């Protein structure tokens, strides 16, 4: 979806766009808001990210084959703490509408297939709340992915299976367990079946927001270009769920605008973690 200049200026979706994004999340499982992060801001974030990526590659090596290059650790500090990056109101207005005003964020990370990385197994993020129960439950979490470069056919765009967040009581297999047994998790019967269902690459310009239900099947694809393909990932959920944990300093927390403080109220702040699950 392309937004109007007035929506970008106000950082607020029109009533029509809000309703369309909400419906797309509920029915298709995803929506894309094209190129909403301003270029100068994106450039600052990209260059801070590439410094971190270089340090991470020095530490862990430059390719992890089928496991690819997930989670370059990112600090919750500038320039990442810009509210347009970590608490984008265009997405959060819809997420609060769908999940409630008391949502929290417990995941801030990144995914970066380097050149030469291969297919990931199709998977969901988060957990099935009631494994094996063939009932579609209401959403409890939504993610935001922010591509830091254009996602093209050749540089390993994320691939998605629209509507698959509504499928339950069906397992794609546990990729990690399979890899550990020496079996490639991308080469199972169920993965072949998923691949036969025509997943779609999400092609989008840098600085877009991919809003998605984490239950929607998705996978990373091979990066055949000669540049890394970085993407930031954040998860926002009902307050009783934790996708992961985030740690930040009280100094950073205190400088956050009020809405952002609410989102990070359950984080570990100066070593203290809130036990408030309400
Ligand atoms: O980087 C990608 O394209 C997908 C990453 C992903 O889905 C994951 O690692 O869970």
Measured CA to CA, the distance from residue 105 to residue 29 in angstroms comes to: 19
Fold exhibited by the domain 5-273:
Jelly Rolls (2.60.120)
Model pTM?
Answer: 0.95
Residue 232's beta-bridge partner residues?
110, 146
Measured CA to CA, the distance from residue 247 to residue 62 in angstroms comes to: 26
Q: Minimum mean pLDDT among 59-68, 146-155, 200-209: which range?
A: 59-68
Measured CA to CA, the distance from residue 103 to residue 239 in angstroms comes to: 5
pLDDT surpasses 60 at 145: yes
Both tokens of 58, joined, read 């020095």
Measured CA to CA, the distance from residue 252 to residue 257 in angstroms comes to: 10
Measured CA to CA, the distance from residue 271 to residue 278 in angstroms comes to: 21
Both tokens of 169, joined, read 């009581």
Residue predicted with more confidence, 80 or 65: 80
- Residue ranges per structural domain of the chain: 5-273
User: Which ligand 1 atom is at minimum distance from the Cα of 157?
Assistant: 3
Distance 231 CA to ligand 1 centre (A): 9
Q: Minimum mean pLDDT among 137-141, 206-210, 240-244: which range?
A: 240-244
Determine whether the shortest distance from the Cβ of 115 to ligand 1 is under 6 A: no
For ligand 1, atom 5, name the residue with the nearest CA.
220
For ligand 1, atom 2, name the residue with the nearest CA.
220
User: Which ligand 1 atom is at minimum distance from the Cα of 68?
Assistant: 9
| Mean pLDDT to the nearest integer, 163-186 | 76
pLDDT band at 169 (very low <50, low <70, confident <90, very high): confident
Q: Minimum mean pLDDT among 56-65, 89-98, 102-111, 163-172: which range?
A: 56-65
Helix (H) or strand (E) holding 96: helix 89-99
User: Which ligand 1 atom is at minimum distance from the Cα of 221?
Assistant: 3
pLDDT band at 245 (very low <50, low <70, confident <90, very high): confident
Q: Map tokens 């392309």 to a residue.
A: 2
Task: Decide if 233 contacts 145 (C-beta within 8 A).
Answer: yes
Measured CA to CA, the distance from residue 137 to residue 155 in angstroms comes to: 34
Measured CA to CA, the distance from residue 212 to residue 206 in angstroms comes to: 17
pLDDT band at 23 (very low <50, low <70, confident <90, very high): very high
pLDDT surpasses 90 at 6: yes
């Amino acid at each position: 979806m392309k937004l109007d200049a007035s929506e970008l200026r106000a950082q607020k979706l029109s009533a029509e766009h809000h309703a369309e994004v909400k419906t797309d999340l509920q029915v298709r499982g995803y929506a894309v808001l094209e190129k909403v992060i301003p270029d100068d801001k994106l450039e600052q974030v990209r260059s801070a990210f590439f410094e971190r990526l270089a340090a991470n590659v020095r530490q862990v090596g430059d390719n992890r084959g089928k496991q690819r290059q997930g989670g370059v650790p990112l600090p919750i500090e500038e320039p990442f703490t810009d509210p347009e990056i970590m608490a984008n109101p265009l997405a959060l207005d819809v997420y609060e509408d769908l999940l409630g005003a008391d949502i929290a964020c417990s995941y801030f990370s990144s995914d970066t297939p380097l050149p030469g990385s291969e297919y990931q197994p199709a998977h969901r993020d988060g957990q099935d709340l009631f494994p094996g129960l063939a009932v579609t439950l209401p959403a409890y979490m939504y993610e935001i992915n922010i591509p830091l470069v254009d996602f093209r056919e050749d540089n390993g765009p994320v691939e998605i299976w629209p509507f698959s967040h509504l499928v339950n009581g069906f397992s794609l297999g546990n990729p990690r367990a399979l890899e550990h047994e020496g079996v490639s998790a991308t080469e199972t019967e169920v993965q072949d079946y998923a691949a036969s269902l025509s997943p779609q690459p999400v092609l989008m310009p840098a600085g877009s927001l991919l809003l998605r239900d984490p239950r929607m099947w998705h996978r990373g694809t091979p990066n055949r270009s000669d540049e890394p393909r970085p993407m930031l990932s954040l998860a926002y959920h009902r307050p009783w769920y934790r996708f992961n944990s985030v740690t930040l300093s009280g100094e950073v927390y205190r400088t956050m605008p009020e809405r952002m403080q609410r989102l990070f109220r359950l984080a570990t702040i100066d070593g203290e973690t809130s036990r408030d699950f309400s």
